[in-house]
Amino acid sequence: MKKVIIGKDEVLEKVLICLLARGHLLIEDVPGVGKTTMVKALAKSINLSYCRMQFTPDMMPSDITGITLYNRAQEKFIFKKGPIFNQIILADEINRTSPKTQASLLQAMEEAEVSIDEETYQLKKPFMVLATQNPIEYQGTFPLPEAQLDRFLMRVSLGYPGVNEEKEIIKNYQESKWLNKITAVACEEEIIEMQKEVDEIYVHEDILHYIVGISNASRSHKDIHLGASPRVSIDLYRGSRALAYIKNRDYVIPDDVKKIVPYVLTHRLILSAEARIEGRRAEDIIKDVLKRVHVPVVSGNEG
């Protein structure tokens, strides 16, 4: 993926964390910085079924989940599966469609299944949704509701590249290198096996207490109207395990948790009216939350 997304190793690491933790990723940034290209690079790097859905204002839930049609020849109704039945889903510009259509992703993202006409269909694993959106200041967008945002394990932003990185991007484009050099380096079975190995990463009781402490501190902060839910605590637990695995450790350290907190919490917190009026940023408030929580001293596979 580094062949295509230049100078954004930190962001690529978060993509990998979400994949290994069986989570979903929200990529928010201005147009043209490589959001869609990054997801395509991921899809080409792993040998899984892939589909890109371009969200538009007139898109319907059935365009995602599928539709039941009557087959005259067979004289029965047949369910035609929608694009959600792939394994890597690119939901491009998800905030360009209506809340009703956005909500059709909820069950798939949470339970890896889809219910249509009283029938429930299991989605093939591994399953991951990577949604892109432009900032809500732009016209023609529908902000994602809290319930939808809560289904994304992390939110990342690519940002503009540096001068040298942008020059390299231009060269790659001119020489038609982009996605052509990427070949699959992992298959379905290998990804599932890695996810199982992540589940075996050791988490000390003090680390669990640290995670819960961060969530509790966000709930009582004066600048936060709605703090972290128990699902956030679970996602911090899952994400920190995946990061430890990437760092080639079989145990989680406090820095693993601390490093992913901004990416897991920022899009889920609802700031108080006073904080919004004062122009406070969720990122700054999270830093304050972290300062209030005691950091445990845990090293190695204790216990």
The predicted structure's pLDDT at residue 168? 76
Cα gap 182→50, rounded to integer Å:
15
pLDDT value at residue 32: 72
Please write the tens of the pLDDT for every residue from 4-60: 777 788 889 999 999 999 999 999 877 777 777 888 888 888 888 889 999 988 899
Give this prediction's pTM. 0.87
User: How is the chain split into domains, by residue range?
Assistant: 9-186, 200-291
Tell me how far CA of residue 270 lies from CA of 29, 215, 260, in angstroms.
Answer: 20, 13, 19
The tens digit of pLDDT for each residue in 166-208 reads 777 777 665 446 667 778 888 899 999 999 999 999 999 999 9
CATH code at 9-186: 3.40.50.300
**What's the pLDDT score for residue 120?**
86
User: Is it true that domain 200-291 has CATH number 1.10.8.80?
Assistant: yes
pLDDT at residue 117 is higher than 60: yes
Task: List, in order, residues 6 or more apart from 33 with CB less than 8 Å away.
Answer: 158, 159, 160, 161
Does the structure show a pLDDT above 60 at 300? no
In this prediction, residue 140 carries a pLDDT of 63
Q: Do the domains at 9-186 and 200-291 have one common CATH topology?
A: no
**Strands, DSSP E only, in the chain?**
25-28, 46-47, 50-54, 66-71, 76-81, 88-92, 113-116, 119-122, 128-133, 154-156, 186-187, 224-226, 270-271
Look-up of token digits 């901004």: 262
Spatial contact of 94 and 55, defined as CB atoms under 8 Å apart: yes
Find which of 105-114, 132-141, 167-176 is predicted with most confidence, using mean pLDDT.
105-114
